[in-house]
Amino acid sequence: MILGRAFEDMCAQMYYRGKMFGFVHLYNGQEAVSTGFIKLLKQQDSVVSTYRDHVHALSKGVPARAVMSELFGKTTGCCRGQGGSMHMFSREHNLLGGFAFIGEGIPVATGAAFTSKYKREVLKEADCDHVTLAFFGDGTCNNGQFFECLNMAALWKLPIVFVVENNLWAIGMSHLRATSDPQIYKKGPAFGMPGIHVDGMDVLKVREVAKDAIGRARRGEGPTLVECETYRFRGHSLADPDELRDPAEKAHYAARDPITALKKYLIENSLASEADLKAIDKKIDEVVEDAVEFADESPVPSQSQLLENVFADPKGFGIGPDGRYRCEDPKFTEGTAHV
Amino acid sequence: MGLRNIIGKRLGLGLVRRRKPFSTATCDGDGNGNGNAKSINLYSAINQALHIALETDNRAFVFGEDVSFGGVFRCTTGLSDRFGKARVFNTPLCEQGIVGFGIGLAAMGNRAIAEIQFADYIYPAFDQIVNEAAKFRYRSGNQFNCGVSNKFPGLTIRAPYGAVGHGGHYHSQSPEAFFCHVPGIKVVIPRSPRQAKGLLLSCIRDPNPVVFFEPKWLYRLAVEEVPEHDYMLPLSEAEVIRQGSDITLVGWGAQLSVMEQACNEAEKDGISCELIDLKTLLPWDKETVEASVRKTGRVLISHEAPVTGGFGAEISASIVERCFLRLEAPVARVCGLDTPFPLVFEPFYMPTKNKILDAIKATVNY
């Protein structure tokens, strides 16, 4: 959680210094959900996220260096600099992405869950009990894709957990004013799966619920819908001045900061000392600083990378009038190859 | 084509970051010369148009994601305070639902003005636009439509489109080509604040479903004198915004300012460029473009969307059909590349001034 928070704060600094650009959405305040769920997963389990995905990537095990380089748009980033803030992918860690468009990731997660069930039951890989987690927000719960996937997942009993990070706001739209029944967890039973509500600011409670849900999925008992009540301390994105939310509401949730709460718990129950916690803070700061340095020094992608990865075969652009592959024609990247 | 009384007006800029200053070469007559024009930017012009639309028709509604506080680009500022939450309201995050709901409103005789937050998000609504809005009148034999003839209401869908410098894959797309392939709707793209206000009012009052793309790069950057009164600009009429004799350039939206810069540079080399703003892409003004090509014999089309299957292809095919023997050189298209809109590579992807300039020279010297 500390890594998540420190990383996101550094992102903000780097953004304002012009080192990264684009639309960046920070996760401050919601760390308990990411840590509570993702830390229970194995490497082969999959995670599908939204545009607010830096911390999901970090929790899943993508190195901070790779994430920071991706944000800076360098070749050493996890997507070779082609994705940016909103599109963190990692085949190694089974992170099936960041999605800029809300709700688009949920069907993808459903497909990934189906694969693991298929492997277990049809291909008879008996030990394949991989679970998929789909993270999304409260605004997405009013979108058609969400409902379609709840139906499919329950119908086919897929090993998936739908995690709603309900931070009450979809840019400037309050969840309470946009939804007919704001209690999202109730939508689970309507489709035939359990719906659970948990305090998303308390990492231990989230972990308990996550254990149950992930356990259910692993045993093949089907999907679960978990609604985590959480809050984002910053605006929707770094371009959002965040003037609309009531300061009293922000203060209420700031008092429930998951990191402070856990620190307090650890100290009160003598599980760790102040010094230990300070040491963790320091170590994380070093990791983040190192990530920034690494990203700074990494090379920017070359112009030829522009045409790569559009198709499986870069030669997929076909043959130009001069008989050569278009992607090899320097004029192709000038956009004037027909002249 | 309107009167051309002032040429080469330089515009002030709010922020100078990645774009250079541009000018609209004309300040055409919008009919009434009653004074009162103020210098405002694009989102303010659109805001004014929306205020007027809601004022002049009490069955007009504005809805979409986040419109009530003013919208992420401030285009709907003040509307909800002035006209009330029953007429200006937020919808949940469901584009398909938003547009479908708008079609229903329009079919029952209201003026529905739907906002899709970014044109990149219009695809879930694509089904409703193509299969429902475009075909409503046709398949009901004019009984129901997204525009009832006695009161002229209708459906207008507004969406910010186009590159913005840092938008990446999902905040910079130009999907106009997909919609230009659909008979039954209109596609309109303004190039500047004055145009935007007049065109938007025409779209809202047009009895057909219209998709109105607003160049998001220009929301704050483009500043122009815009009359404060209610005025409309005609749809399906292209405008020659710069006279020339050697080559015709055709474009729309934010790309025109880039083309204008290329024209200025080409002029230094003695090439006289004629620049046409299509304004309405569907149905587009073939006559104006054809007349210009008959004059110059050469044409170049430029747009941000990828070149293959972009709207430039339609223009090119039509011009070749109509002006084949007059053409002195192949039709040139300087467009975005055939890749998803990149994040880091945006400067390489975009049809920049230099690419256009190179193409102008190559075409003229063919």
Q: What is the CATH number of the domain that holds B105?
A: 3.40.50.970
Looking at the 3D structure of chain B, how many domains does it have?
2
Residues B144 and B213 in one domain: yes
The first and second tokens of residue B166, run together, are 């840092």
Residues A154 and A206 in one domain: yes
Q: Does A71 touch chain B (CB under 8 A)?
A: no
Q: Does A83 touch chain B (CB under 8 A)?
A: yes
pLDDT the model gives residue B3: 35
Q: Which residues of B touch A335 (CB under 8 A)?
A: 307, 334-337, 351, 355
Distance from CA of A259 to the nearest CA of B (A): 31
Q: B94, A333: Cβ pair inside 8 Å?
A: no
Q: Does A23 touch chain B (CB under 8 A)?
A: yes
Q: Which residues of B touch A81 (CB under 8 A)?
A: 343-344
Q: Which residues of A touch B96 (CB under 8 A)?
A: 144
Q: B93, A178: Cβ pair inside 8 Å?
A: yes
Start-to-end Cα distance in chain B: 30
Residues B212 and B189 in one domain: yes
Residues A108 and A210 in one domain: yes
Distance from CA of A269 to the nearest CA of B (A): 43
Q: Which of B171, B193, B227 is the last residue of a domain?
A: B227
The first and second tokens of residue A298, run together, are 């990494």
Residues B193 and B279 in one domain: no
Looking at the 3D structure of chain A, how many domains does it have?
2
Q: Which residues of B touch A100 (CB under 8 A)?
A: 120, 168-171
Touching B: A residues 170-199, CB under 8 Å: 170-173, 177-179
Which of B90, B93, B343 has its CB closest to that of A22?
Answer: B343
Q: B171, A23: Cβ pair inside 8 Å?
A: yes
Residues A10 and A145 in one domain: yes
3-class SS at B332?
A: strand
Q: B337, A306: Cβ pair inside 8 Å?
A: yes
Distance from CA of A106 to the nearest CA of B (A): 14
Which of A307, A332, A335 has its CB closest to that of B334?
Answer: A335
Q: Does B344 touch chain A (CB under 8 A)?
A: yes
Q: Does A307 touch chain B (CB under 8 A)?
A: yes
In a domain, B232, yes or no: no
Q: B330, A338: Cβ pair inside 8 Å?
A: yes
Residue B247 main-chain phi, psi, to 5 deg: -155, 145
Which of B65, B166, B307 has its CB closest to that of A22?
Answer: B166
Nearest CA in chain A to B304: A335
**Number of neighbouring beta carbons within 10 Å of residue A181:** 8
Residues A170 and A290 in one domain: yes
Residue A3 main-chain phi, psi, to 5 deg: -60, -45
Residues B50 and B158 in one domain: yes
pLDDT the model gives residue B108: 83
Which residues of B are catalytic, by number? 95, 171
Q: Does A217 touch chain B (CB under 8 A)?
A: no
Q: Which of B182, B199, B227 is the last residue of a domain?
A: B227
Q: Estimate to the nearest angstrom the gap between the alpha carbon of A57 and the chain centroid.
A: 6
The sign of the torsion formed by the CA atoms of A213, A215, A220, A221 equals negative
Q: Estimate to the nearest angstrom the gap between the alpha carbon of B322 and the chain centroid.
A: 25
Residues B53 and B128 in one domain: yes
Distance from CA of B181 to the nearest CA of A (A): 23
Residues B287 and B214 in one domain: no
Residues B150 and B286 in one domain: no
pLDDT the model gives residue A330: 65
Q: A333, B332: Cβ pair inside 8 Å?
A: no
β B223-227/B37-41 pair status: antiparallel
Nearest CA in chain A to B167: A22
Q: B362, A339: Cβ pair inside 8 Å?
A: yes
Quote the domain boundaries for residue A2: 1-301
Distance from CA of A178 to the nearest CA of B (A): 5
Q: Does A104 touch chain B (CB under 8 A)?
A: no
∠ CA A211-A100-B282, nearest 5°, is: 145
Distance from CA of B155 to the nearest CA of A (A): 22
What contacts B8, CB < 8 A, 6 or more positions away? B23, B25
The CATH number of the domain holding residue B332 is 3.40.50.920
pLDDT the model gives residue A315: 66
Distance from CA of A82 to the nearest CA of B (A): 7
In a domain, B148, yes or no: yes
Radius of gyration over alpha carbons of chain A, in Å? Answer: 21
Nearest CA in chain B to A147: B94
Q: How far apart are CA B147 and CA B209, in angstroms?
A: 7
Residue by residue, pLDDT tens for chain B (366 residues) are: 433 333 333 333 333 333 333 333 333 344 445 568 899 999 999 999 999 999 999 889 999 998 988 899 999 999 999 999 999 999 988 899 999 999 988 888 889 999 999 999 999 999 999 998 898 888 888 777 665 444 435 899 999 999 988 888 889 999 999 999 999 999 999 999 999 999 999 999 998 999 999 999 999 999 999 999 999 999 999 999 999 999 999 999 999 999 999 999 999 999 999 999 999 999 999 999 999 999 999 999 999 999 999 999 999 999 999 999 999 999 999 999 888 898 888 888 899 999 999 999 999 999
Quote the domain boundaries for residue B42: 3-227
Residues A323 and A249 in one domain: no
3-class SS at B178?
A: helix
Residues B248 and B356 in one domain: yes
Q: A22, B65: Cβ pair inside 8 Å?
A: no
Residues B108 and B247 in one domain: no
Residues B215 and B274 in one domain: no
Strand boundaries in chain B, DSSP class E: 9-10, 23-24, 37-41, 60-64, 88-90, 111-115, 154-161, 186-188, 210-215, 223-227, 239-242, 247-251, 273-277, 280-282, 299-306, 332-336
Q: B65, A338: Cβ pair inside 8 Å?
A: no
Q: How far apart are CA A49 and CA A95, in angstroms?
A: 8
Q: B344, A339: Cβ pair inside 8 Å?
A: no
Start-to-end Cα distance in chain A: 55
Residues A316 and A225 in one domain: no
Q: Does A140 touch chain B (CB under 8 A)?
A: yes
Instruction: Identify the bridge partners of residue A161 per DSSP, sorted by sequence position.
Output: A133, A224
Pick from B303, B280, B301: nearest CA to B190? B280
The sign of the torsion formed by the CA atoms of B245, B247, B248, B252 equals negative
Q: B332, A338: Cβ pair inside 8 Å?
A: yes
Alpha helices in chain A (DSSP H): 2-16, 31-38, 54-60, 64-72, 105-121, 144-155, 175-178, 187-191, 203-218, 247-254, 258-268, 274-297
Q: Which residues of A touch B334 (CB under 8 A)?
A: 335-336
pLDDT the model gives residue A338: 42
∠ CA B45-B160-B132, nearest 5°, is: 110
Cα torsion through A319, A320, A322, A324, rounded to 10:
-40
What contacts A141, CB < 8 A, 6 or more positions away? A164, A179, A184, A187
Pick from A225, A144, A237, A301: nearest CA to B346? A301
- Low-confidence stretches of chain A (pLDDT beneath 70): 313-321, 326-339
Q: Which residues of B touch A86 (CB under 8 A)?
A: 168, 170
Residues A83 and A127 in one domain: yes
Q: Which of B227, B262, B295 is the last residue of a domain?
A: B227
DSSP B20: P
The CATH number of the domain holding residue A229 is 3.40.50.970
Residues B163 and B280 in one domain: no
- Looking from the CA of B229 toward its CB, the CA atoms found within 13 Å total 8
Residues B69 and B204 in one domain: yes
Q: Which residues of B touch A84 (CB under 8 A)?
A: 168-169, 343-344
Q: How far apart are CA A268 and CA A219, in angstroms?
A: 36
DSSP B245: S
Q: Are B242 and B275 in contact (CB under 8 A)?
A: yes
In a domain, B218, yes or no: yes
Residues A158 and A286 in one domain: yes
Instruction: Provide ipTM, 2 decimals.
Output: 0.78
Instruction: Determine the longest span between alpha carbons in chain B, in angstroms.
Output: 60
Q: What is the DSSP string of A137-180?
A: ETGGGGSHHHHHHHHHHHHTT-SEEEEEEE-SEETTEEHHHH-S
In a domain, B233, yes or no: no
Residues A158 and A284 in one domain: yes
Q: Are B221 and B162 in contact (CB under 8 A)?
A: no
Nearest CA in chain B to A75: B344
In a domain, B234, yes or no: no
Residues A232 and A309 in one domain: no
Q: Which residues of B touch A305 (CB under 8 A)?
A: 345
Q: Does B340 touch chain A (CB under 8 A)?
A: yes
Q: How far apart are CA B236 and CA B238, in angstroms?
A: 6
Residues A48 and A171 in one domain: yes
Residues A155 and A249 in one domain: yes
In a domain, B341, yes or no: yes
Q: B349, A306: Cβ pair inside 8 Å?
A: yes
